[in-house]
A and B are shown apart, each in its own frame.
Chain A
């Protein structure tokens, strides 16, 4: 064996060793990631995504949703919901996330949340509001979905973002994430399990109360929606993807009981921005 052959042999052996090492790392990482995601409440901590990844995912979904229903063209209205929403979000565990709120141009009665702090209320729902506390309650329910990572959990379980992409996400930029999400915003209207909706309701009334609002804003608007005719197409999607308002009110009644007595939260009715 001459020197050259020996050199080639060593390089080849090293390369092989390196490759095996990489493959081993990859497998290990995959197993770690799988274990992490299987942990109960694993979504409560970052659920496998960094905050930047979560925001990138949310931004893509929000942009898709806005592609279906753009923002109502009223700067003052949009600023108003951001002021109210951000104040409510400040009372949550994620006060420093950059929260975005918007009223979208749809006659449907609905509200949506995407990961990373993107929250939307339809014009149809906004028009039903009687005071600022009801707006705060609606936004607080959606904030509840974001801080509990309800939608992110679905994305993780689904095929849209599998474990592999989680690993890739570590090495690639945000643009890859948007490619993985692709178009479509049906995730915002995916039925969460009933427990997640009731949980978001319970979080919602507490966040509104913490923010100094009348905690009964959310139940109030649920009462309003609850007696909207169920055959009305404006509530079709909402009723399909959420438990009936009467069931939500019953659960809230049990959970709230007399706990909110004497809080004297404000309805801030006079300040509710009137939509054109």
Chain B
């Protein structure tokens, strides 16, 4: 019980301290996640902010200079280490494996290093298994339609600074 309480406090504390970020370039903070929304303030590069949520290519942030929405790619998330611990703890809890201390032993999770890759031998059964899950084009299209995903046209992006 004591442990459980401690665990809960740990998660709550981490969630609060969770998302801080830093601007990597000068950009405007807007009233809504749209490029034509009203500009609230402009933050210089290297400004510390608090990230509240994400919406498409935008983060909702709080900063000393003002709060609003800023382009996701103008920010880098920071203070990671504070989050990774509790998050994996939470995931462990959800999967019912927290506290057993045997995650590695029971699921056989392991890393993949170059040596292992070099030494790897062809596994025919695994290839058969892989192929048994293959989706046809039509099947995938049906599945996409279920989530109302609509295909749209878009050109590939030019390499920055190459052809302008």
Interface residues of A (CB under 8 A from B): 59-60, 62-71, 75, 78-79, 82-87, 90-91, 95-96, 98-102, 105-108, 110, 118, 122-124, 127, 132, 178, 183-186, 188-189, 195, 198-199, 202-203, 205-206, 209-216, 219-220, 223-224, 226-229, 233-234, 236-237, 246, 249-256, 258-268, 271, 274, 276
- The B interface, classified by DSSP as helix, strand, loop or mixed, is loop
Nearest residue, chain A, Cβ from B88: A127
Q: Which of A132, A205, A228, A254 interacts with B84 by CB under 8 Å? A: A228
Is chain A's binding surface mostly helix, strand, loop or mixed? Answer: helix
* Cβ-based interface call for B57 (8 A): yes
How many residues in B have their beta carbons less than 8 Å from beta carbons of A? 68
Closest chain B CB from A224 CB (angstroms): 8
Least Cβ–Cβ distance between A212 and chain B, in angstroms: 4
A171 to chain B, nearest CB (A): 23
Residues in chain B near residue A259, CB distance under 8 A: 157
Asked whether A184 lies within 8 Å of B120 as measured between CB atoms, the reply is yes
Supposing A106-B112, A276-B95 touch, asked if A223 and B76 sit within 8 A by C-beta, the answer is yes
User: Cβ of B147: which chain A residues have Cβ within 8 Å of it?
Assistant: 132, 266, 268, 271
What is the total of A-B residue contacts with beta carbons within 8 Å? 227
In the bound complex, do residue B127 and residue A66 qualify as a contact, i.e. CB atoms below 8 Å apart?
yes
A110-B110 Cα distance, complex, nearest whole Å: 13
For A69, give its contact among B35, B112, B161 (CB under 8 Å). B112
Among B72, B120, B157, contact of A68 (Cβ-Cβ < 8 Å): B120
- Which 9 pairs, one residue from A and one from B, show the smallest C-beta to C-beta distance? A227-B80, A253-B73, A212-B149, A86-B140, A66-B126, A68-B120, A254-B160, A83-B143, A78-B133
Q: Once the chains bind, are A203 and B126 in contact (CB under 8 Å)?
A: no
B99 contacts partner chain A, Cβ-Cβ < 8 Å? no
Q: Given the complex of chains A and B, what is the CA–CA distance between A234 and B143 in angstroms?
A: 32
What residue in chain A is nearest B71 (Cβ atoms)? A253
